[in-house]
Structure 1
Amino acid sequence: MNLSFIKKYIMPKEVDFLLALNQHAMIITKITDDLHKCFIEASQESCEAILQDLHKSQEIREKNMNELLSSFITPLDRESIYRVITQLDWIAVSIKHFVVEAKAYGIHSLDENYETLFENIQLQSQLLTAGFKTVKTDAQKTAENAQRVRNAYNELVEVYAKSMAGLVSENNLREMFIHKELLGQLKEIGKRMQMCANSLEDIVMKMN
């Protein structure tokens, strides 16, 4: 009985979950890029791409979850993998909620204050993706990227607070309500990015 036969039919299936999680993170980055182009550059193509990418994110989430349920061997504890799968999905869902609210209010483009927030979210997503890529090869680099995600989130909260203060000073209740909801959704996306960064750092700690 040769080794290839044993691996294929006898040995438990082993999945590269770190690669799978990185692929999911890359889709999230694509979604954040399209979010920026949709609302800042008024790109209808990017608006449509968000919905396609959200569907792809859901497919990857389901695939990774099914793989986790059926795998006997994982590169780290199952709880850590599950946590990141759900957190990446939560980021995608939060972006979907933002798009749903913006459409409900008939908003198709946003100003420079939102551009700063979108760019912050793009940066956080890029750092997460970069962090997943270096988990196996450079734990220190992954930890640094996780910290940079946290730093970026703190900056996002500062921009959020200033934007809300500006809305209050304008004394326009309708605009305040609409933008409070939209800004709150962006803050939620950033929060989910930070939580995922914390879980990424937890993976590094357990692997070293």
Structure 2
Amino acid sequence: MSRAIAGVGASLAIALALTACGSSPGAAPSAPAPTATPLPTPAIEVPIAAATPPPARLPVPPVRVVAASIDVDMPVVPVGVEAGGFMELPVDPAIGGWYRFGADPATSDGNVVISAHVDAPQYPIGPLSRLRDLPAGETVEVTDAAGEVRRYQVQSVTYYPKADLPVDELFARSGTRNLVLITCGGQFDSRTGRYADNVVAIATPIM
């Protein structure tokens, strides 16, 4: 875009120069004109568009989640995806994992997803083991890395068989601004080392 604008400016300057220097065809030579004081050349400032796009917004990750009614107060760290396609989680059930490829609390669109194990070998049972007891209408607070606290109101707590978990809905990056808390629940399968269900709490921002 900047080259095109600059090119138009250059063509205009050349056209003006030719018009100023040319003479009418067939015109008789005239006597030299009196010497005049040359006028200053007009300057036109041409806006130049940046060649690179503006830098992407840096996320502000959540660092703490509190659900006082079920005695949950846990740190949160960014996580990604494991090799098997599962959401990566901290080994310690006392630490929540924020899905860093989704929304953060400061964004205006998309779900903020925080998850944690119910338990793990060598660790005590985790705080989110009580997620199933979180009543609708209760408040959950999320503190981000900038120190801002955002409050959410619980709308629902649902058990989903793992095969039926609505992943696209829960991890939506647009059209919603929910806080989604996820942990495991249901029967434990000793053969696979996994629980049969997921417990999911949905909370909406308190404006």
TM-score of Structure 1 vs Structure 2, range by shorter chain: under 0.3
Normalising to structure 1: TM-score of the pair? 0.25
Q: Name the one with the larger helix percent.
A: 1
Q: Name the one with the larger strand percent.
A: 2
Which of these two proteins has the greater Rg computed from alpha carbons? 2
Q: Whose RCO is larger (CA < 8 A, sep 6+)?
A: 1
Normalising to structure 2: TM-score of the pair? 0.25
